Amino acid sequence: MSGALDPRERSFYARSVHDVARDLVGCVLRHGETTARIVEVESYHQEEPACHAHVGLTPRTSVLFGEPGTAYVYRSYGIHALLNAVCEPEGVGAAVLIRALEPLDGVEEMHERRRVGGFVDLCNGPGKLTQALDVELHHNGGSLLEGPVVVEPRPPAWRDVRWVTGTRIGITKAADLEWRFCAIGSRCVSRPWPPALREAAG
DNA sequence: CATGGGATTGACT
DNA sequence: GTCAATCCCATGC
């Protein structure tokens, strides 16, 4: 249970993208002195049309087909940088999109970078969290094992974190797949919350 | 080389 | 609820 589920090992990412997505919930994303807990992710796979890798190997998608544990960062709607973790063995195009975080350390710095909102609004969206942690396009192709942007294991208190599934957000193709995973008990999950999360929250 | 479509957000009605 | 901002890149001529 220890080695195989440690995000500091490359083997952690060289598995089914859905298994990696579930295991990333509760882990900690770090960039310098700013850290935050992953509370929402989505999985994408080349076999399905919402995944960028679905079009095959191009300059844009080459990172997705590369080494597992690599960061895939791309610009969305011309404005926002979105962060993904490349998964599955090399040659398979798949990644986990990091959609929301719960800030832990460097909260002051996050506020300065975001210049808006309260605590919850710092990282409750894929474009928000990259701004808060200062993740940009130049991080594309970098290693999530070696940094500067790294994923650290779940803290003991989050060892048994539970999650619910929902359909992925903001896509038009393959929108019926329940490949969104949200931590139960965090206010920092992005809107709209999946029905199962509202029920779990009571 | 021109075109079109986004894995979003924040401001506004 | 609506809508514009703005850039990368896949595609097609």
Provide the positions of strand C that have an atom within 7 A of a protein CB. Answer: 5-11
**Distance from CA(A77) to C1'(B6), angstroms, rounded:** 6
| Rounded CA separation A72/A49 (Å) | 18
Place of tokens 């544990």: A69
Number of other CB atoms surrounding residue A116 within 10 Å: 10
Q: A151-184 pLDDT, tens per residue?
A: 999 999 999 999 999 999 999 999 999 999 999 9
pTM of the model: 0.96
Distance from CA(A1) to C1'(C3), angstroms, rounded: 49
A190 touches strand B (CB under 7 A): yes
A187-202 pLDDT, tens digit each:
999 999 999 999 887 6
Q: Per-residue pLDDT for A44 more than 50?
A: yes
Give the distance, in angstroms, between residue A173 CA and nucleotide C7 C1': 22
Contacts 24+ apart (CB under 8 A), A192-199: A193/A166, A194/A164, A194/A165, A194/A166, A194/A167, A195/A166, A196/A164, A196/A165, A196/A166, A197/A164, A197/A166
Q: Residue with structure tokens 């990259």?
A: A130
Nearest nucleotide (C1') to alpha carbon of A173: B7
Percent of chain A scored above 70 by pLDDT? 98
Residue A3 pLDDT exceeds 60: no
Residue A114 Cβ under 7 A from any strand B atom: yes
| Chain B positions with any atom < 7 A from a protein CB | 6-11
Average pLDDT of the residues in A122-135: 98
At A4-38, the pLDDT tens digits run 589 999 999 999 999 999 999 999 999 999 999 99
